[in-house]
Amino acid sequence: MAAKKKAAPKKAAAKKPAKKAAPKKAAAKKAAPKAGKMGGKGGRTTMRSSKGTKLYAVRTKDGKFKDIQTYKRAHAADMRQKSKSEEE
């Protein structure tokens, strides 16, 4: 009978050390919009909801959310208002 060769025992793969997460950079604060822009209204940030609906978020000076509105409703409200040049 032919002798069977035994398979050489496999060496355990050396584990690489886990990479450390890079330190997060501080978020740069955006400058407040000037009064001439949007007729003195607060700055609006566009974002999307979990369902994918486009949103407008109005923030206070310290960056907290003041109001969140759907883009569709905010745009319709903007269109209902007449500009100074249209009122003349």
pLDDT of residue 44: 79
Q: Quick check: is 68 in a domain? A: yes
Q: Quick check: is 30 in a domain? A: no
The number of domains in the chain is: 1
pLDDT of residue 27: 60
For 77-87, what is the mean pLDDT? Answer: 84
68: left (phi over 0), alpha (psi -120 to 50) or beta: beta
pLDDT of residue 63: 82
15-68 pLDDT, tens digit per residue, is 777 677 667 666 666 555 544 445 555 577 888 989 988 988 888 888 888 888
Give the residue numbers spanning the domain of 47: 41-81
Q: Quick check: is 8 in a domain? A: no
Q: Quick check: is 26 in a domain? A: no
Q: Quick check: is 21 in a domain? A: no
Q: Quick check: is 67 in a domain? A: yes
Place of tokens 């609906």: 53
27, exposed or middle or buried, with CB in 10 Å at 0-12, 13-18, 19+? exposed
Q: Quick check: is 5 in a domain? A: no
pLDDT of residue 35: 43
Q: Quick check: is 71 in a domain? A: yes
pTM for this predicted structure: 0.40
